[in-house]
Amino acid sequence: MTKSTKKPWSTKDVMTQIYDMKLWGGKTFDFYSGSGSHDPKTINPYLKSVITFLESHNNVLVVCDLGCGDFNIGKQLVSYTKKYIAVDIVDALIERNKKLFKQNNVEFQCLDISKDELPKADCLILRQVLQHISNAEIKAVVKKLNHYKYLILTEHIPLGTFTPNKDIISGQGIRLKQKSGVDLLEAPFHLEIKNEILMDEHILEHNKGRIVTTLYKLF
């Protein structure tokens, strides 16, 4: 008699369940990407710094947002870009966004960023996305980054020094409980860059770490 084996959940399955079960909060919302995408103390300084960057390029950059979520952040950046390509892994979320946000220069795509070919763009936004996925998936994403001139990366990391890039299973949680966080310049990722600029750093209350946004020029 053979044992039945359950097929492991894919990252798409996990992320879909997170939204279906409101695991990031927002019980009154149809889709909610967490307080990190809605708390004014967190998002307003971020938006200011990114808008300043986009304006410095005369609002002509094509931007690709990997992990656009409920689009509460992206919708406030669209007007500062030539084109805004918003990507997420959850089908129902992308279909919802297509119905709600119909600007001429916005395009929504449902992709698994670790497996699928990524859209062409000048600037890539990865905002609190890598922190939720495994090292293997991050490695797959990093291999695709050399097609972009700029990367705006936001990660939730511990206060002070920490051990970077401890592995996790892709899902709701992040590496903070392991006193770790994602650092693409460190092993096992070793992202090659031309330079980097700290765009924004927000210290969270109650010793819950910090949210750091860094601009990387990749070529």
Transcribe 6-43 into DSSP letters.
Answer: PPPPPHHHHHHHHHHTTTTS-TTSSS---GGGT-HHHH
pLDDT tens figures, 159-187? 999 999 999 999 999 999 999 999 999 99
- For 33-49, the pLDDT digits (tens) are 999 999 999 999 999 99
Q: Which amino acid is at 47?
A: L
Q: Record the pTM.
A: 0.95
Q: What pLDDT was estimated at residue 72?
A: 98
55, containing H or E segment: helix 40-56
CATH number of 11-217: 3.40.50.150
pLDDT in tens, 194-214: 999 999 999 999 889 999 999
74 DSSP assignment: G
The DSSP annotation for 174-186 comes to -GGGGTEE--TTS
d(CA 50, CA 123): 11
Q: What distance in Å separates the CA atoms of residue 211 and residue 209, rounded to the nearest whole number?
A: 7
What is the model's pLDDT at position 2?
53
Predicted pLDDT at 160: 94
> In sequence order, which residues have a C-beta less than 8 Å from that of residue 155 and are 6 or more positions away?
128, 130, 131, 181, 182, 183, 211, 212
Q: Where are the domains of the chain?
A: 11-217
